Structure 1
Amino acid sequence: MGRTSRSEIVDHSLIQKSYIVHSDANGSPWADALAWSVIAWLLLRSGYYTWMGLLLAGGWIKLKSGTVTSESLLAVGSLGLQLTTSRGLIIRFPFSSSTFTLLRSGSNVFLPLSDIQDITLNEVIYGWGIRYVLVVIQKPKVDTDDGKLIIAYEELMPRLPQLERVWRGIRSVLFDELDQKDSDTDTDLERENKPPIGQLRNGDNAIGTS
């Protein structure tokens, strides 16, 4: 299912910066409305149809509640980097662009600064195209280890301009590198519609600064 997403920057000087990518499913709300109508009709029936409706409702909720609603990176100077993924059941209505989310859940991964070797922007070849990903390289635990690679925003795939801003901002906080472009107020970015790489997903992106 396609997605639309927007990015948000929360800047607390050079102490910490948070980069959040929000995502909303942009498929037709009529598909969801039809599915819920069929489930409701089955639940109102008796016997076998009721059990079928319960099974379909449970499966539908289980499937939809795993939708990624946002991903964020929080860089804290002298401490490290936290990656957060939020999931939930996105409810949409026909004739309305508004949505709300139920059954929220999330997961966090914290990487101490002492474990981070570098943060890079990498090119990934997929089919006939090239994608860009933000990669956190962990320091090797032993001499024979090459270090673990962690891909940021592995469910939502922002475009290169967003990734460059995140990359510059994070490095300015963690590695004391000067970031002169993070105050850029341009918020409109074009749509990117590309198939996922493995578990990577993408969408239409825009950045706002607050």
Structure 2
Amino acid sequence: MFRSASQHLAIYSPSNTTISYTVSNALHRSTRTSKILFALGNVSRIILCLLVLTIDIVKLQSFVERWPIGFINFYDSAAGRLTIEIIKPLDWRLVATGSFLVLYFCLRKGYTEETLLVLRGLGVQTSTSSPTYLSTSTTRFIPTTQIQDIVIHEAFKGLEVRFYLAIIVEGATEVVVVFPQLLPRRQILEEVWRGARKCLYEGRG
């Protein structure tokens, strides 16, 4: 678990019965320059991944006797012959290790997003984004009938006091921690706590 000074809260409420709170440590992309840099970064990742896959295919050429016509045309080209001359002398274990590290780096998101979705009359859903682009977010839905309360707890970690938002679930031995990876600061937790309780319980007698 960790916290980052760059954490920020995004609130989306399409109606008075639905509201979502998303805490993220991703960099803000509010300016044109930041959006362009983000797009260039994604393009660079794609190009690097394609380059690594091309290197791997060329290295496999020495282990495969028959190739599809598309690969044969590539090997007959000047770029293909140059690539083969550069890659063939390399040890396959070095190529495999380097390819794994590069692909792992390219497929990592580099940030975490955690969301609490509140649906009045239905329940709440918590989700934590996956660390890579290849896997999906981890989600959990808790029906309203099982929610006893939403509270802010504090715990000690070493000499530091950490605050966290928790959902007390009926019949569960442990509380469900909201935003467990990011553990945002207390001001964010209080805003989410007030809004979530208002959306979930407003209108009850």
TM value normalised by structure 1: 0.59
- 1:136 and 2:167 equivalent? yes
1:55-74 paired onto structure 2 within 5 Å: 55-59=97-101, 61-62=103-104, 65=108, 69-74=112-117
Q: 1:52 to 1:71 in 2, by over 3 A?
A: same
Say if 1:67 and 1:87, in contact at 8 Å, map to a contact too. no
Say if 2:114 and 2:179, in contact at 8 Å, map to a contact too. yes
Q: 1:53 to 1:6 in 2, by over 3 A?
A: farther
Percent identical: 25
1:138-157 paired onto structure 2 within 5 Å: 138-140=169-171, 147-157=173-183
Considering fraction of residues, name the structure with more strand: 1
Unaligned stretches of 5+ in structure 1?
26-32, 90-101, 141-145, 179-210
Say if 2:9 and 2:23, in contact at 8 Å, map to a contact too. yes
Q: 1:133 to 1:103 in 2, by over 3 A?
A: same
**Structure 1: 4+ residue segments shifted above 6 A:** none
1:108-123 paired onto structure 2 within 5 Å: 108-123=139-154
Q: 1:164 to 1:105 in 2, by over 3 A?
A: same
- Look up the equivalent residue of 1:153 and give its one-letter code: F
2:198 pairs with one of 159, 168, 172: 172
Unaligned stretches of 5+ in structure 2?
28-43, 56-85
- Offset at residue 152 of structure 1 (A): 0.7
Aligned-partner Cα distance in 1 for 2:190–2:102: 37
Aligned-partner Cα distance in 1 for 2:144–2:93: 52
1:180-199 paired onto structure 2 within 5 Å: none
1:124 aligned residue: 155
Q: 1:123 to 1:2 in 2, by over 3 A?
A: closer
- Offset at residue 118 of structure 1 (A): 0.9
TM value normalised by structure 2: 0.60
- Offset at residue 172 of structure 1 (A): 0.4
Q: How many residues align?
A: 148
Deviates more, 1:56-65 or 1:108-117: 56-65
Aligned-partner Cα distance in 1 for 2:3–2:102: 18
Considering fraction of residues, name the structure with more helix: 2
Aligned-partner Cα distance in 2 for 1:13–1:175: 15
Question: Which digits, 9 at most, give the CA deviation of each residue in 1:100-146, with x for residues without a partner?
Answer: xx446212110001111111100111111101000111001xxxxx6
Aligned CA RMSD, in angstroms, stands at 3.1
- Look up the equivalent residue of 1:170 and give its one-letter code: A
Aligned-partner Cα distance in 2 for 1:128–1:20: 28
